[in-house]
Amino acid sequence: MPTRGGTNVHMVLPPHYLHELPVEAEERLSKIFQQLDIDGNGRIDVHDLAQALHQVGVHKRYAEKFLQQSDSTKSGDISLAEFIHYVIEHEKKLRLQFTHLDKNKDGKIDLEELISSFNKDLGIKMDRAEATKLLQRMDRDGSLSITFNEWRDFLLYAPSDDIHALITYWRHSTYMDIGEDMGVPDDFTSSEMMSGMWWRHLLAGGIAGAVSRTCTAPLDRIKVYLQVHGTKHCNIRSCLKYMLREGGIYSLWRGNGINVLKIGPETALKFAAYEKIKRFIKGNDSRELGIDERFIAGSAAGGISQSAIYPLEVLKTRFALRKTGEFNGIVDAAQKIYAQGGLKNFYRGYIPNLIGILPYAGIDLAVYETLKNRYLRSHSKNEQPAFWVLLLCGTASSTAGQVCSYPLALVRTRLQAEVSNTHSRTMIGVFQDILQTEGFRGLYRGLTPNFLKVAPAVSISYVVYEHFRQALGVNMT
Protein backbone atom coordinates (compact mmCIF):
# COMPACT_ATOMS: atom_id res chain seq x y z
CA MET A 1 0.00 0.00 0.00
CA PRO A 2 1.54 3.36 -0.97
CA THR A 3 2.09 5.98 1.72
CA ARG A 4 1.64 9.71 1.25
CA GLY A 5 5.21 9.99 0.12
CA GLY A 6 4.62 7.33 -2.53
CA THR A 7 6.71 4.58 -0.85
CA ASN A 8 5.32 1.06 -0.98
CA VAL A 9 5.22 -0.68 2.38
CA HIS A 10 6.48 -3.96 0.87
CA MET A 11 9.66 -2.21 -0.30
CA VAL A 12 10.60 -1.04 3.21
CA LEU A 13 9.35 -3.82 5.49
CA PRO A 14 11.85 -6.49 6.57
CA PRO A 15 11.48 -9.57 4.26
CA HIS A 16 10.21 -11.95 6.97
CA TYR A 17 7.14 -9.73 7.53
CA LEU A 18 5.93 -9.94 3.93
CA HIS A 19 4.16 -13.24 4.49
CA GLU A 20 3.02 -12.38 8.04
CA LEU A 21 1.20 -9.10 7.44
CA PRO A 22 -2.43 -9.43 6.25
CA VAL A 23 -3.72 -6.76 3.89
CA GLU A 24 -6.17 -5.47 6.52
CA ALA A 25 -3.39 -5.06 9.10
CA GLU A 26 -1.16 -3.35 6.52
CA GLU A 27 -3.90 -0.86 5.68
CA ARG A 28 -4.73 -0.23 9.34
CA LEU A 29 -1.14 0.42 10.38
CA SER A 30 -0.42 2.57 7.33
CA LYS A 31 -3.48 4.67 8.13
CA ILE A 32 -2.35 5.12 11.75
CA PHE A 33 1.12 6.09 10.54
CA GLN A 34 -0.33 8.74 8.22
CA GLN A 35 -2.38 10.18 11.09
CA LEU A 36 0.74 10.39 13.25
CA ASP A 37 2.86 11.90 10.45
CA ILE A 38 1.54 15.44 10.96
CA ASP A 39 3.88 17.18 8.50
CA GLY A 40 3.49 14.45 5.85
CA ASN A 41 7.22 13.88 5.22
CA GLY A 42 7.02 10.10 5.55
CA ARG A 43 8.73 10.01 8.97
CA ILE A 44 7.43 10.54 12.51
CA ASP A 45 9.47 12.62 14.97
CA VAL A 46 8.73 13.46 18.59
CA HIS A 47 6.89 16.68 17.65
CA ASP A 48 4.60 14.83 15.21
CA LEU A 49 3.94 12.15 17.78
CA ALA A 50 3.31 14.52 20.71
CA GLN A 51 0.81 16.55 18.68
CA ALA A 52 -0.98 13.48 17.32
CA LEU A 53 -1.17 11.76 20.72
CA HIS A 54 -2.56 14.90 22.33
CA GLN A 55 -5.37 14.91 19.76
CA VAL A 56 -6.45 11.40 20.80
CA GLY A 57 -6.20 12.21 24.52
CA VAL A 58 -2.81 10.59 25.31
CA HIS A 59 -0.34 12.68 27.28
CA LYS A 60 2.61 13.95 25.25
CA ARG A 61 5.17 12.44 27.66
CA TYR A 62 4.43 9.05 26.04
CA ALA A 63 5.68 10.36 22.68
CA GLU A 64 9.33 10.23 23.74
CA LYS A 65 8.93 6.78 25.30
CA PHE A 66 7.18 5.41 22.23
CA LEU A 67 9.89 6.84 19.95
CA GLN A 68 12.69 5.34 22.06
CA GLN A 69 11.11 1.90 21.77
CA SER A 70 10.34 2.02 18.05
CA ASP A 71 13.35 3.94 16.64
CA SER A 72 15.57 0.96 15.79
CA THR A 73 18.12 3.07 13.86
CA LYS A 74 18.36 5.73 16.62
CA SER A 75 17.91 8.47 14.04
CA GLY A 76 15.51 10.53 16.17
CA ASP A 77 12.51 9.69 13.99
CA ILE A 78 10.85 6.56 12.62
CA SER A 79 9.91 5.42 9.13
CA LEU A 80 6.82 3.45 8.15
CA ALA A 81 8.88 0.25 8.19
CA GLU A 82 10.17 0.88 11.72
CA PHE A 83 6.67 1.78 12.89
CA ILE A 84 5.06 -1.39 11.50
CA HIS A 85 7.92 -3.58 12.74
CA TYR A 86 7.56 -2.23 16.29
CA VAL A 87 3.74 -2.30 16.35
CA ILE A 88 3.54 -5.89 15.08
CA GLU A 89 5.85 -7.08 17.88
CA HIS A 90 4.06 -4.90 20.44
CA GLU A 91 0.64 -6.26 19.43
CA LYS A 92 1.85 -9.86 19.78
CA LYS A 93 2.74 -9.14 23.42
CA LEU A 94 -0.54 -7.32 23.95
CA ARG A 95 -2.33 -10.43 22.68
CA LEU A 96 -0.57 -12.57 25.31
CA GLN A 97 -1.52 -10.17 28.12
CA PHE A 98 -5.13 -10.01 26.89
CA THR A 99 -5.35 -13.82 26.81
CA HIS A 100 -4.03 -13.95 30.38
CA LEU A 101 -6.76 -11.58 31.61
CA ASP A 102 -9.53 -13.28 29.61
CA LYS A 103 -10.26 -16.05 32.15
CA ASN A 104 -13.24 -17.67 30.43
CA LYS A 105 -11.65 -17.43 26.97
CA ASP A 106 -14.68 -15.80 25.33
CA GLY A 107 -12.59 -13.14 23.58
CA LYS A 108 -13.66 -10.39 25.98
CA ILE A 109 -12.56 -9.01 29.35
CA ASP A 110 -15.52 -8.11 31.56
CA LEU A 111 -15.67 -6.29 34.90
CA GLU A 112 -15.48 -9.41 37.08
CA GLU A 113 -12.48 -10.78 35.16
CA LEU A 114 -10.74 -7.42 35.47
CA ILE A 115 -11.28 -7.16 39.25
CA SER A 116 -10.24 -10.78 39.79
CA SER A 117 -7.06 -10.40 37.70
CA PHE A 118 -6.02 -7.20 39.43
CA ASN A 119 -6.67 -8.28 43.02
CA LYS A 120 -5.79 -11.99 42.93
CA ASP A 121 -3.33 -12.57 40.07
CA LEU A 122 -1.49 -9.25 39.92
CA GLY A 123 -1.71 -8.23 43.59
CA ILE A 124 -2.96 -4.76 42.63
CA LYS A 125 -5.66 -3.52 45.00
CA MET A 126 -8.57 -2.13 43.01
CA ASP A 127 -12.19 -1.58 43.98
CA ARG A 128 -15.19 -1.96 41.69
CA ALA A 129 -15.56 1.80 41.14
CA GLU A 130 -12.02 2.21 39.79
CA ALA A 131 -12.26 -0.98 37.71
CA THR A 132 -15.48 0.32 36.14
CA LYS A 133 -13.76 3.63 35.31
CA LEU A 134 -10.87 1.82 33.63
CA LEU A 135 -13.18 -0.44 31.68
CA GLN A 136 -15.27 2.49 30.44
CA ARG A 137 -12.12 4.29 29.32
CA MET A 138 -11.31 1.48 26.90
CA ASP A 139 -14.85 0.26 26.10
CA ARG A 140 -16.01 1.92 22.85
CA ASP A 141 -19.39 0.25 22.39
CA GLY A 142 -20.72 0.65 25.95
CA SER A 143 -20.96 -3.11 26.56
CA LEU A 144 -18.92 -2.96 29.81
CA SER A 145 -16.55 -5.53 28.31
CA ILE A 146 -13.54 -5.03 26.07
CA THR A 147 -12.53 -6.96 22.96
CA PHE A 148 -8.94 -7.48 21.84
CA ASN A 149 -9.30 -4.73 19.22
CA GLU A 150 -10.35 -2.23 21.90
CA TRP A 151 -7.49 -3.43 24.14
CA ARG A 152 -4.99 -3.25 21.26
CA ASP A 153 -6.04 0.19 20.02
CA PHE A 154 -6.02 1.76 23.47
CA LEU A 155 -2.61 0.32 24.48
CA LEU A 156 -0.92 0.91 21.12
CA TYR A 157 1.16 3.80 22.50
CA ALA A 158 1.98 2.18 25.84
CA PRO A 159 5.78 2.22 26.13
CA SER A 160 6.03 -1.28 27.65
CA ASP A 161 4.49 -4.73 27.30
CA ASP A 162 4.87 -5.57 31.01
CA ILE A 163 1.38 -5.96 32.50
CA HIS A 164 2.09 -3.66 35.47
CA ALA A 165 3.40 -0.94 33.15
CA LEU A 166 0.37 -1.40 30.89
CA ILE A 167 -1.95 -0.90 33.86
CA THR A 168 -0.08 2.25 34.87
CA TYR A 169 -0.52 3.59 31.34
CA TRP A 170 -4.17 2.52 31.33
CA ARG A 171 -4.81 4.42 34.54
CA HIS A 172 -2.79 7.54 33.85
CA SER A 173 -2.43 8.18 30.11
CA THR A 174 -5.08 10.91 30.03
CA TYR A 175 -4.91 14.40 31.50
CA MET A 176 -6.94 15.71 34.37
CA ASP A 177 -10.35 17.24 33.85
CA ILE A 178 -10.26 20.40 35.89
CA GLY A 179 -13.86 21.50 35.53
CA GLU A 180 -15.33 19.69 38.45
CA ASP A 181 -13.23 21.37 41.17
CA MET A 182 -14.99 24.73 40.72
CA GLY A 183 -17.97 23.88 42.90
CA VAL A 184 -17.69 20.30 44.17
CA PRO A 185 -14.38 18.68 45.27
CA ASP A 186 -12.68 16.01 43.17
CA ASP A 187 -13.21 12.30 43.67
CA PHE A 188 -10.07 10.21 44.24
CA THR A 189 -9.72 6.47 43.81
CA SER A 190 -8.48 4.36 46.72
CA SER A 191 -5.14 3.80 44.99
CA GLU A 192 -4.64 7.56 44.53
CA MET A 193 -5.42 8.13 48.21
CA MET A 194 -2.88 5.49 49.29
CA SER A 195 -0.16 6.67 46.91
CA GLY A 196 -0.37 10.31 48.02
CA MET A 197 -1.43 11.42 44.53
CA TRP A 198 -4.33 13.34 46.09
CA TRP A 199 -2.20 15.85 48.02
CA ARG A 200 0.00 16.49 44.99
CA HIS A 201 -3.12 17.23 42.96
CA LEU A 202 -4.42 19.58 45.67
CA LEU A 203 -1.03 21.32 45.87
CA ALA A 204 -0.88 21.79 42.09
CA GLY A 205 -4.44 23.12 42.17
CA GLY A 206 -3.63 25.46 45.05
CA ILE A 207 -0.63 26.93 43.22
CA ALA A 208 -2.75 27.33 40.08
CA GLY A 209 -5.45 29.08 42.11
CA ALA A 210 -2.94 31.45 43.71
CA VAL A 211 -1.48 32.48 40.34
CA SER A 212 -4.93 32.79 38.77
CA ARG A 213 -6.31 34.95 41.62
CA THR A 214 -3.25 37.18 41.58
CA CYS A 215 -3.51 37.75 37.82
CA THR A 216 -7.22 38.61 38.00
CA ALA A 217 -7.09 40.50 41.35
CA PRO A 218 -7.69 44.00 39.81
CA LEU A 219 -10.98 42.80 38.30
CA ASP A 220 -11.94 41.20 41.60
CA ARG A 221 -11.31 44.41 43.54
CA ILE A 222 -13.34 46.42 41.03
CA LYS A 223 -16.17 43.89 41.43
CA VAL A 224 -16.15 44.25 45.24
CA TYR A 225 -16.07 48.06 45.01
CA LEU A 226 -19.02 48.12 42.58
CA GLN A 227 -20.98 45.70 44.76
CA VAL A 228 -20.74 48.09 47.73
CA HIS A 229 -20.48 51.56 46.19
CA GLY A 230 -21.83 51.00 42.68
CA THR A 231 -24.42 53.38 41.22
CA LYS A 232 -25.76 54.15 37.77
CA HIS A 233 -22.93 56.64 37.32
CA CYS A 234 -20.16 54.43 38.73
CA ASN A 235 -18.87 52.02 36.09
CA ILE A 236 -15.71 49.96 35.61
CA ARG A 237 -13.72 52.81 34.05
CA SER A 238 -14.57 55.42 36.69
CA CYS A 239 -13.95 52.89 39.44
CA LEU A 240 -10.52 52.02 38.00
CA LYS A 241 -9.58 55.70 37.72
CA TYR A 242 -10.56 56.33 41.33
CA MET A 243 -8.49 53.39 42.60
CA LEU A 244 -5.41 54.47 40.63
CA ARG A 245 -5.78 58.05 41.82
CA GLU A 246 -6.34 57.08 45.45
CA GLY A 247 -3.67 54.39 45.89
CA GLY A 248 -1.67 53.93 42.70
CA ILE A 249 -1.21 50.81 40.59
CA TYR A 250 -0.46 48.54 43.55
CA SER A 251 -3.79 49.37 45.17
CA LEU A 252 -5.48 47.19 42.52
CA TRP A 253 -4.16 44.15 44.42
CA ARG A 254 -5.58 45.11 47.83
CA GLY A 255 -7.11 42.06 49.47
CA ASN A 256 -5.34 39.61 47.16
CA GLY A 257 -2.89 38.46 49.82
CA ILE A 258 -5.70 37.18 52.04
CA ASN A 259 -7.54 35.80 49.01
CA VAL A 260 -4.48 33.66 48.20
CA LEU A 261 -3.80 32.85 51.86
CA LYS A 262 -7.21 31.24 52.35
CA ILE A 263 -6.78 28.78 49.45
CA GLY A 264 -4.81 26.31 51.59
CA PRO A 265 -7.11 25.93 54.60
CA GLU A 266 -10.27 26.18 52.51
CA THR A 267 -9.18 23.46 50.06
CA ALA A 268 -7.90 21.15 52.81
CA LEU A 269 -11.05 21.51 54.93
CA LYS A 270 -13.37 21.06 51.95
CA PHE A 271 -11.50 17.96 50.80
CA ALA A 272 -11.44 16.38 54.28
CA ALA A 273 -15.13 17.12 54.86
CA TYR A 274 -16.09 15.85 51.40
CA GLU A 275 -14.29 12.53 51.94
CA LYS A 276 -15.96 12.06 55.35
CA ILE A 277 -19.41 12.83 53.97
CA LYS A 278 -18.82 10.53 50.97
CA ARG A 279 -17.97 7.65 53.29
CA PHE A 280 -21.07 8.39 55.36
CA ILE A 281 -23.32 8.35 52.26
CA LYS A 282 -21.78 5.21 50.72
CA GLY A 283 -21.38 3.20 53.92
CA ASN A 284 -19.75 -0.13 53.04
CA ASP A 285 -20.65 0.17 49.36
CA SER A 286 -17.79 0.79 46.90
CA ARG A 287 -20.01 2.39 44.25
CA GLU A 288 -19.45 5.90 42.87
CA LEU A 289 -21.63 8.76 44.09
CA GLY A 290 -24.48 9.88 41.85
CA ILE A 291 -24.71 13.50 40.74
CA ASP A 292 -27.35 14.28 43.40
CA GLU A 293 -25.21 12.69 46.13
CA ARG A 294 -22.15 14.60 44.94
CA PHE A 295 -24.17 17.81 45.10
CA ILE A 296 -25.21 17.10 48.69
CA ALA A 297 -21.71 16.08 49.76
CA GLY A 298 -20.07 18.99 47.94
CA SER A 299 -22.49 21.58 49.30
CA ALA A 300 -22.12 20.29 52.87
CA ALA A 301 -18.33 20.22 52.56
CA GLY A 302 -18.37 23.76 51.16
CA GLY A 303 -20.52 24.93 54.08
CA ILE A 304 -18.14 23.40 56.62
CA SER A 305 -15.01 24.91 55.03
CA GLN A 306 -16.66 28.32 54.61
CA SER A 307 -17.73 28.36 58.26
CA ALA A 308 -14.13 27.80 59.35
CA ILE A 309 -12.43 30.34 57.07
CA TYR A 310 -15.21 32.95 56.88
CA PRO A 311 -13.33 35.55 59.01
CA LEU A 312 -10.71 35.59 56.23
CA GLU A 313 -13.50 36.37 53.72
CA VAL A 314 -14.51 39.40 55.80
CA LEU A 315 -10.88 40.54 56.06
CA LYS A 316 -10.46 40.17 52.30
CA THR A 317 -13.50 42.36 51.61
CA ARG A 318 -12.45 45.03 54.12
CA PHE A 319 -8.93 45.12 52.62
CA ALA A 320 -10.34 45.43 49.09
CA LEU A 321 -12.42 48.43 50.21
CA ARG A 322 -9.87 50.11 52.47
CA LYS A 323 -8.31 53.48 51.80
CA THR A 324 -4.58 54.14 51.91
CA GLY A 325 -3.27 54.01 55.49
CA GLU A 326 -6.45 52.59 57.02
CA PHE A 327 -4.85 49.30 58.11
CA ASN A 328 -1.24 48.39 58.93
CA GLY A 329 -1.42 44.72 58.02
CA ILE A 330 -3.71 41.78 58.72
CA VAL A 331 -3.28 41.79 62.51
CA ASP A 332 -4.05 45.51 62.76
CA ALA A 333 -7.14 45.07 60.56
CA ALA A 334 -8.37 42.13 62.65
CA GLN A 335 -7.94 44.11 65.87
CA LYS A 336 -9.85 47.13 64.51
CA ILE A 337 -12.70 45.00 63.14
CA TYR A 338 -12.96 43.19 66.50
CA ALA A 339 -12.97 46.52 68.38
CA GLN A 340 -15.88 47.76 66.24
CA GLY A 341 -18.27 44.93 67.09
CA GLY A 342 -16.61 41.90 68.60
CA LEU A 343 -16.39 38.40 67.15
CA LYS A 344 -19.70 38.62 65.30
CA ASN A 345 -18.18 41.29 63.03
CA PHE A 346 -16.12 38.50 61.46
CA TYR A 347 -19.33 36.68 60.50
CA ARG A 348 -21.25 39.52 58.87
CA GLY A 349 -22.95 38.19 55.74
CA TYR A 350 -22.45 34.58 56.83
CA ILE A 351 -26.08 33.51 56.21
CA PRO A 352 -26.35 34.70 52.55
CA ASN A 353 -22.88 33.23 51.94
CA LEU A 354 -23.98 29.85 53.27
CA ILE A 355 -27.25 29.91 51.32
CA GLY A 356 -25.37 30.91 48.15
CA ILE A 357 -23.30 27.72 48.22
CA LEU A 358 -26.33 25.59 47.32
CA PRO A 359 -27.35 27.22 44.00
CA TYR A 360 -23.73 27.79 42.96
CA ALA A 361 -22.50 24.24 43.63
CA GLY A 362 -25.68 22.64 42.28
CA ILE A 363 -25.93 24.62 39.06
CA ASP A 364 -22.18 24.54 38.43
CA LEU A 365 -22.12 20.75 38.79
CA ALA A 366 -25.35 20.16 36.84
CA VAL A 367 -24.30 22.37 33.90
CA TYR A 368 -20.83 20.85 33.79
CA GLU A 369 -22.16 17.28 33.88
CA THR A 370 -24.72 18.10 31.17
CA LEU A 371 -22.07 19.58 28.86
CA LYS A 372 -19.62 16.75 29.58
CA ASN A 373 -22.21 14.02 28.93
CA ARG A 374 -23.31 15.70 25.70
CA TYR A 375 -19.67 15.75 24.58
CA LEU A 376 -19.16 12.08 25.52
CA ARG A 377 -22.28 11.00 23.61
CA SER A 378 -20.84 12.44 20.39
CA HIS A 379 -17.24 11.22 20.88
CA SER A 380 -15.57 7.92 21.66
CA LYS A 381 -15.19 7.20 25.37
CA ASN A 382 -11.39 7.02 25.31
CA GLU A 383 -11.08 10.35 23.52
CA GLN A 384 -10.20 13.12 25.94
CA PRO A 385 -11.66 16.59 25.31
CA ALA A 386 -9.42 19.25 23.85
CA PHE A 387 -8.34 22.26 25.92
CA TRP A 388 -10.94 24.58 24.40
CA VAL A 389 -13.69 22.09 25.34
CA LEU A 390 -12.52 22.00 28.96
CA LEU A 391 -12.30 25.78 29.00
CA LEU A 392 -15.76 26.18 27.51
CA CYS A 393 -17.41 23.69 29.89
CA GLY A 394 -15.68 25.14 32.95
CA THR A 395 -16.47 28.72 31.98
CA ALA A 396 -20.11 27.97 31.14
CA SER A 397 -20.79 26.02 34.35
CA SER A 398 -19.04 28.56 36.56
CA THR A 399 -20.84 31.46 34.88
CA ALA A 400 -24.24 29.80 35.24
CA GLY A 401 -23.60 29.15 38.93
CA GLN A 402 -22.47 32.72 39.53
CA VAL A 403 -25.48 34.28 37.77
CA CYS A 404 -27.93 32.38 39.96
CA SER A 405 -26.09 32.95 43.25
CA TYR A 406 -24.82 36.49 42.53
CA PRO A 407 -27.54 38.47 44.42
CA LEU A 408 -26.67 36.51 47.57
CA ALA A 409 -22.96 37.21 47.01
CA LEU A 410 -23.67 40.93 46.60
CA VAL A 411 -25.74 41.09 49.82
CA ARG A 412 -23.00 39.18 51.64
CA THR A 413 -20.37 41.69 50.48
CA ARG A 414 -22.46 44.68 51.58
CA LEU A 415 -22.96 43.17 55.01
CA GLN A 416 -19.24 42.40 55.29
CA ALA A 417 -18.45 46.03 54.44
CA GLU A 418 -20.59 47.50 57.23
CA VAL A 419 -18.48 49.21 59.90
CA SER A 420 -21.06 50.46 62.38
CA ASN A 421 -22.55 47.93 64.77
CA THR A 422 -25.38 50.18 65.97
CA HIS A 423 -27.32 50.16 62.70
CA SER A 424 -26.47 46.65 61.45
CA ARG A 425 -28.89 45.31 58.84
CA THR A 426 -30.21 41.86 58.14
CA MET A 427 -30.01 39.92 54.87
CA ILE A 428 -33.70 40.59 54.17
CA GLY A 429 -33.24 44.28 55.01
CA VAL A 430 -30.38 44.66 52.52
CA PHE A 431 -32.41 42.92 49.80
CA GLN A 432 -35.33 45.28 50.41
CA ASP A 433 -33.10 48.39 50.39
CA ILE A 434 -31.50 47.41 47.08
CA LEU A 435 -34.81 46.66 45.38
CA GLN A 436 -36.39 49.90 46.62
CA THR A 437 -33.50 52.23 45.73
CA GLU A 438 -31.80 50.52 42.78
CA GLY A 439 -34.35 48.07 41.42
CA PHE A 440 -33.68 44.50 40.27
CA ARG A 441 -30.53 45.53 38.38
CA GLY A 442 -29.01 46.62 41.69
CA LEU A 443 -28.72 42.96 42.71
CA TYR A 444 -26.22 42.45 39.87
CA ARG A 445 -23.86 45.38 40.47
CA GLY A 446 -20.29 44.33 39.62
CA LEU A 447 -21.36 41.34 37.55
CA THR A 448 -19.52 42.55 34.42
CA PRO A 449 -15.98 42.52 35.92
CA ASN A 450 -16.90 39.21 37.52
CA PHE A 451 -17.70 37.78 34.08
CA LEU A 452 -14.58 39.31 32.57
CA LYS A 453 -12.34 37.45 34.98
CA VAL A 454 -13.88 33.97 34.49
CA ALA A 455 -12.24 33.04 31.16
CA PRO A 456 -8.71 34.27 32.05
CA ALA A 457 -9.00 32.74 35.52
CA VAL A 458 -9.92 29.31 34.11
CA SER A 459 -7.25 29.56 31.36
CA ILE A 460 -4.47 30.58 33.75
CA SER A 461 -5.50 27.91 36.27
CA TYR A 462 -5.41 25.25 33.56
CA VAL A 463 -1.97 26.21 32.22
CA VAL A 464 -0.38 26.57 35.68
CA TYR A 465 -2.02 23.39 36.94
CA GLU A 466 -0.72 21.39 33.96
CA HIS A 467 2.82 22.73 34.54
CA PHE A 468 2.90 21.91 38.25
CA ARG A 469 0.99 18.65 37.76
CA GLN A 470 3.84 17.40 35.58
CA ALA A 471 6.50 18.81 37.93
CA LEU A 472 4.92 17.03 40.92
CA GLY A 473 4.30 13.80 38.99
CA VAL A 474 0.53 13.98 39.26
CA ASN A 475 -1.19 11.42 37.04
CA MET A 476 -4.89 11.20 37.75
CA THR A 477 -7.37 8.60 36.58
Phi first, then psi, for residue 91 (nearest 5°) are: -70, -30
Question: Does any domain span residue 114?
Answer: no
Does the reported pTM lie above 0.75?
no
Q: What is the pLDDT of residues 348-384, one digit of tens each?
A: 999 999 898 877 877 777 777 777 767 766 665 555 5
**Residues sharing a CB contact under 8 Å with residue 439, sequence separation 6 or more, in sequence order:** none
Tell me how far apart the alpha carbons of residues 1 and 31 are, in angstroms, rounded to a whole number. 10
Most confident of the ranges 72-81, 100-109, 288-297, 440-449: 440-449
Do 226 and 83 share a domain, yes or no?
Answer: no
Residue 32 clears pLDDT 90, i.e. is over it = no
Question: Does any domain span residue 385?
Answer: yes
Do 79 and 213 share a domain, yes or no?
Answer: no
Residue 175's nearest CA partner among 469, 411, 410 is: 469
CA of residue 282 relative to chain centroid, distance = 24
Give residue 1's pLDDT.
39
Question: Does any domain span residue 356?
Answer: yes
Do 231 and 83 share a domain, yes or no?
Answer: no
Instruction: State the number of CA atoms in the 13 A half-sphere of 381 facing the CB.
Output: 15
Range of the domain at 28: 22-101
Residue 187 clears pLDDT 80, i.e. is over it = no
Question: Does any domain span residue 182?
Answer: no
Do 96 and 203 share a domain, yes or no?
Answer: no
Alpha helices, DSSP H only, in 17-125? Answer: 23-36, 46-55, 61-70, 80-101, 111-116
Question: Does any domain span residue 302?
Answer: yes
Q: Are 358 and 411 in contact (CB under 8 A)?
A: no
> Which of 101, 118, 136 is where one domain is finished?
101
Residue 413 clears pLDDT 90, i.e. is over it = yes
**What CATH number did the domain enclosing 321 receive?**
1.50.40.10
Do 194 and 91 share a domain, yes or no?
Answer: no
Question: Does any domain span residue 128?
Answer: no
Give residue 12's pLDDT.
44
Question: Does any domain span residue 369?
Answer: yes
> Which of 77, 101, 125 is where one domain is finished?
101
Q: How many CB atoms lie within 10 A of CB 254?
A: 25
Q: Any long-range contacts for 20-24 (C-beta under 8 Å, 24+ apart)?
A: 20/88, 21/84, 21/88
Number of structural domains, the chain? Answer: 2
Compute CA distances 105 → 110, 114, 147, 152, 221, whole Å.
11, 13, 11, 17, 64
**What CATH number did the domain enclosing 35 receive?**
1.10.238.10
Phi first, then psi, for residue 2 (nearest 5°) are: -70, 145
Tell me how far apart the alpha carbons of residues 401 and 362 are, in angstroms, rounded to a whole number. 8
Question: Does any domain span residue 146?
Answer: no
Compute CA distances 360 → 47, 142, 276, 402, whole Å.
41, 32, 21, 6
Residue 108 β-bridge partners? 147
Do 419 and 308 share a domain, yes or no?
Answer: yes
Comparing 58 with 316, which gets the higher pLDDT?
Answer: 316
Strand-pair category, 108-110 with 145-147: antiparallel
Do 208 and 81 share a domain, yes or no?
Answer: no
Do 205 and 88 share a domain, yes or no?
Answer: no
> Which of 45, 67, 101 is where one domain is finished?
101
Compute CA distances 441 → 162, 240, 353, 446, whole Å.
63, 21, 20, 10
Q: What is the pLDDT of residues 130-163, one digit of tens each?
A: 777 777 777 777 777 888 888 787 777 765 555 5
Q: Is 422 helix (H, G, I), strand (E, B) or coil?
A: coil
